[in-house]
Structure 1
């Protein structure tokens, strides 16, 4: 599946600014992390970015590139600004689409997954006549990841952990929308008193089995492989 990632603004167009931050840098950080996760963790994900550095790219260039590549999904990443008092996360699809469209379904999925992880106020799902939503030939969503001129939201944007969580939310939504499959992952093999009792994919499962058998073993070993 082809995912086109569009970090908003760049180069001579810094986008919104506030609290020592520029939108073009925040959006690029999120997009690059989304790209890394998709390529490393999913077997059937192919990506392209409108920019991978701080360079100027026109709106027409972005949509033309995505259309000619034949992307299955276009995700444009932005931050918001108003007057320093507004805050939270919202996302947009093209205003000419119905609530029953595939794009609207994708918006609901991605919105839900991002909100789970980004720690921002939920400002809802919206529609707009933005160029990148109107001129794309595939489902397209534009995410507004907080208000850069709001003290609370911008403080989050300065955190590498927040960038990671926001990227993860986007990836989780994209994966559900496009039916992405995870790469084979290593298992955690648990041995107690010299005998293997199981192999688990999730760390929480390892912790649960250790905890539930806490009083019944002298030594435990966890081997990832």
Structure 2
């Protein structure tokens, strides 16, 4: 993205102020998009996936990549894994279109999602993976954040070791406005050449998606 990527990201994601090595689950590990469902989870639930940015909003850009394309890629892979495991998945977008932040949260709320994940790619010269929850949350969100963060790191590290930047909290609109446990993931830095090389690798993106999906399974088992 042009200008200061950090300030623009915070303005985009936190807008509307004043209004938000772990084994992969057996059922998900063998899932293939379009294949017959196997190992259907007894804890099937409604999961909302929010690929960040889209349409006229490219998000962060760097090294020939655009955030909006990467977030959609990871979300679609995660969706296919979860639906193959028997869950119902709704996405804020399945193509390259723009959605307002408030719309994303409202859509998840009205649909009655059990869990919400907003998928993003970082920028600003750093490296590695970090994730966010809202600044004031209950135990279910804390549990989900812990599980999801660990699972995504495990998925990434199964392909290539990455830096753990930690679990954080922020006043992001999609986290503040959602009614269910919600986490925003920042999957490496698009403007760091080594991170971008991983983001351009299909196997790494699949491992990242598996990390997202496996922890959703783990969380649902306790709900």
Give the shorter-chain TM-score range: 0.7 to 0.9
Counterpart residue number, 2:170: 128
Counterpart residue number, 2:65: 21
Deviation at 1:179, TM superposition (A): 1.8
Q: Does 1:5 align with 2:49?
A: yes
The one-character-per-residue Cα deviations of 1:10-40 (angstroms, maximum 9, x if unpaired) are: 0000000110001000000000000011111
Q: Does 1:91 align with 2:131?
A: yes
Deviation at 1:96, TM superposition (A): 1.5
Greater relative contact order (Cα 8 A, min sep 6): structure 1 or 2?
2
Counterpart residue number, 1:190: none
Counterpart residue number, 1:175: 217
Tell me the number of residue pairs that the alignment of Structure 1 and Structure 2 aligns: 174
Gaps of 5+ in 2: 1-44
Counterpart residue number, 1:184: none
Deviation at 1:117, TM superposition (A): 1.6
Counterpart residue number, 2:141: 103
Counterpart residue number, 2:90: 48
The one-character-per-residue Cα deviations of 1:22-68 (angstroms, maximum 9, x if unpaired) are: 1000000000000011111x13x111000000001110110110000
Counterpart residue number, 1:71: 113
Separation in 2, partners of 1:8, 1:59:
9
Counterpart residue number, 1:113: 151
Gaps of 5+ in 1: 181-225
Separation in 1, partners of 2:220, 2:52:
22
Separation in 2, partners of 1:70, 1:61:
14
Counterpart residue number, 2:81: 37
Separation in 2, partners of 1:138, 1:97:
10
Separation in 2, partners of 1:50, 1:151:
29
Off by >4 Å, runs of 4+ in structure 1:
none
3-state secondary structure, aligned to 2:110: helix
- The alignment's C-alpha RMSD in Å is 1.1
TM-score using structure 2 length:
0.76
Deviation at 1:97, TM superposition (A): 2.1
- The structure richer in strand per residue is 1
Of 185, 189, 209, 1:143 maps to 185
TM-score using structure 1 length:
0.76
Separation in 2, partners of 1:142, 1:152:
22
Separation in 2, partners of 1:135, 1:60:
7
